[in-house]
Structures are given as C-alpha cells and as structure tokens.
Amino acid sequence: PEEPPAKGAEPCPSTSESLTNNSTDCPKVSQGITIPQLEDYHEEFDADIKNKLATLTISRESYSNALENREVYLKHPPVFSNKLEIDAPITDQKNSGRCWVFAGLNMLRQRMMKEYNLEELELSQPFVFFYDKLEKSNWFLENMLQTLDEDLDGRVMQFLLKDPINDGGRWDMFVALVEKYGVVPKEAYPETHHTSNSGQMNSLLATKLREYAKTMRSEHAKGKDIEEVRGLKGHMLKEIHRILSVSLGQPPKKLNWAFYNKDKKFHEFRDITPLQFYKDHVKQDCKNMVSLIHDPRNAYMKKYTVKYMGNVHGAEKVHYINLPMDQIKEYAANVIISGRPLWFGCDILKFESPSKGMVDPELFDYKAAFDFGFGMTKVERLQYGDTHMTHVMVLTGVHVEDGKTVRWRAENSYSDSYGNKGYLTITDRWFDEFAYQIVFEKGDLPKEVLDVLDQEAVVLPPWDLLGIL
C-alpha cells in the first residue's frame, strides 16, 4: 500500500502547493475571524486584477463549464484501439441510485445480444430493484435483531438507523438477487414513477423500518428473546411488500419473451419463469466472478468484507480482493481486448464533464481561477473522507499505446444525452486515482489471486468507506 502521509509540521499557508514549500513561520491567528483579518482578505483579493476577471466568468457558470481545460479532451478523443463489437442502446437510471443494477444487467445483456443476434435488448432493472428493496428490508430487520442489546445512542446503532434502506449496492449483492429471483426483459416489468424517482418511496420505507426497529427493541426490553421478537418480522415484511407492490406493481412469476433478431426472424419463448430466463438465456455464471478493489489504505493480496453490509440473508457475503492498480488494469485491459465487458466502480463525482463525457484530474483548471491545486494522494483522500465509490458503469473499451493503457471507455446509465451519446472517456491517470472496483471471471485471474479467496476475510467496520452504498 501507499505510505500514509508523513507526520510533521502543521501546515500554515492557504494553498495546497505552498503547504509543502513554505517555511513553518506562520503568523498567529485568533480562534475567531476578526474584522481586521477580513479587511485584509478583501484588500488582497481586490489588489489582484485576475480575481475580478475570474469572478466575472465563474460567478455566471459552473466550474465544469468555466474551467474546462480544452487541451485535455483534445488529447483524448473518444477513439479506442480496442472496443466491444456491440454498442447496446444506452439506458437511463433517472432519479435513482440504481447504477449497480443497471451496470450488472447491461453487462449480462452483451452475451445475450451476441448469441441471439439482437439489435437491442434491455433487461428489467425495476424487477431487480423490487426484490432488492424487499431483501434489504429483511436484512435491516435481521441487523436489528442482532443488535438488540447494543446501546441505542452508540455508534453502531446510530449508523444502522441513519440510512436503513437506499438504492445503492455492490456486485455480490447483485449476484445474490439474480441467483435467487432471476431476471426478466424490460417489457415484462417496466419502469414506474417510483423506480425512476425513488426518493419518496425510500423515505417511506425508512420511516417504517425505523418504526419496526423501535418495536423490536421495546418488545425485547419487556423480556422477549430474539426468536420471539423475530416472530414480529412476518407482519413487518408483509407491509413492506405491500408498499413495494402498490408503488412498483407486483413482479411477474412467468413471462413470454418474443423478439425479432437482426435478420428480422421471429423468436418466442413462452411461459418461462424469471429464474429460467436467467439460467437458460442469460447463461452467465455470476457466482464465478470475483471483485477486485484498489484500496491503498489496506494491505494488498488480502480479502476484505464490511460488517452489516449485504441484502439477501443466506447468500454469499460481500467480499473483495485488494490489489495494486497496475495489476487490476492489466487484467481489465486483457478482458476488454478479448471482447468482454466489465462491471466497474469509481468516484464519478471527481473531475467529470457531463457535456464532454470525460473524466480527468486536470480537466478543470482550478489553479487559473483560484490560484491553488490539490495535494492529497489517493490514500489520503480515502483517509480523510474526500472520496469513495459513488457510481458503477460498464467498461467497454480501452486505448493502448506502446503497450500501455492510455484511456478507457465506459457505458454509462445516464441516458444517451449524456457525454458522447451515453459513453464516458476515462483517462488512465484518472483511473489510477478514482477507480475502486472491477469484477472479473475467475478464469481471467492467476491462481495466486484466486487463492486469496480461501483466506479468512478482514472485517472492516460498517462505517468504512468500502461500505458506503
């Protein structure tokens, strides 16, 4: 892992670049902001004519528009030496946090489109979403049963109660859902208002789940043991199911799948269950896949999990293998060159231009506007809470020059109005700093990496950044 930041002199200047270059002779500063101090700030600001120009420009525009570094995107056009054959229609998660579900299903459809010679195909994200909400509700209630004797004001309980249910997830959570419930085509279970705009329903579910938690703890305080309290769960889950069924509609138990292929030939499969559709038509063994992460805070070649994180009770736990980034990129490039997509997690909130469809650490010239840069390393950003995995996409291309990866192509789920017709160009240096997780088939990894799966997982606390959904 990268070394943690060195301990030493406290910084005193106001810009990250000068933090390491200036002397340690800092003027004394009072605890509060004084009026003379504020007047000095005003005078210094007004004395530099560049600040007036910056204000005239930036106060009217977003940073991403006003500070866009033209040289960066001209250097990295959306052209790739290796790109998947199929460009499936771009999907749209709308006002929801379902990116991990969209990415999982978008990855699965690639193989189906090739096998069935399809022009287009979209698998139902609402179908997976319905069961994820139901399973997460049960997961939360089981966590409440396991923590009945925890201090209500303690960190564990307050963490679990803060956000009982949200839209986010990880690869192993996706696998748990499709292996238990299957998948269906989008036309068999389409979007509703509350799949595309999940905030209101999430708020209702969270309120009910906290109410159930209160009931469980109250009954336990009266002397009921854990199994007696668990007996209350059936009615609670029935209410959750009712909320989901009213808001989203009940998922189909069976379906008919009819389509025309590229040759205009008609095909139909009738009266099949979602699990049959998954096993007979998707034909992707999701259980045979491994999550690799790059977390320089922690030791490499170790297996990690996060306490209390998951969705389906009894399914495989969420786990990761931590590896150096160069190693992960090598495996990823090989998979894409072989013609297969990859489920990919990153921090999309850093240095992203939605209009240009690009991410790069130097895409916005903050120094020109504010006269400062950024000084933290990846490990320091993680340690100080400045970054974590915020989004999942599908890697569909890589550009290689002289044997080195230069940029990557990602299929996003923000509609085809985003970026380059729905796609994002990721420069290699951004990848190093803000990519966190990629999922591989076991056959794509060497034995020494797969052997890490046999280790006992290091259990990180529930509030660790790897546990943020």
- Pairing type for strands 352-353 and 404-411 reads unpaired
99: annotated active-site residue: yes
SS3 349: coil
Amino acid (one-letter) located at 453: L
Give 400: exposed, middle or buried? Use CB within 10 Å, 0-12, 13-18, 19+.
middle
346: annotated active-site residue: no
SS3 404: strand
Distance CA 347, CA 293 (A): 13
Q: Which of 194, 281, 294, 391 is catalytic?
A: 391
Distance CA 230, CA 145 (A): 7
Q: CA 302 → CA 305, 395, 404, 452, 469, distances in Å?
A: 10, 25, 26, 6, 22
E strand intervals along 67-187: 82-83
Tokens of 167: 């839209």
Q: Which of 106, 143, 322, 412 is catalytic?
A: 412
Amino acid (one-letter) located at 53: L
Q: Which of 99, 143, 294, 322 is catalytic?
A: 99
Distance CA 434, CA 383 (A): 14
Give 12: exposed, middle or buried? Use CB within 10 Å, 0-12, 13-18, 19+.
middle
A 10 A CB-CB count for 328 gives 22
E strand intervals along 67-109: 82-83
Backbone phi, then psi, for 3, in 5-degree steps?
-70, 140
Distance CA 138, CA 311 (A): 8
A 10 A CB-CB count for 366 gives 15
65: annotated active-site residue: no
Query: Which residues form the catalytic set?
Result: 99, 391, 412
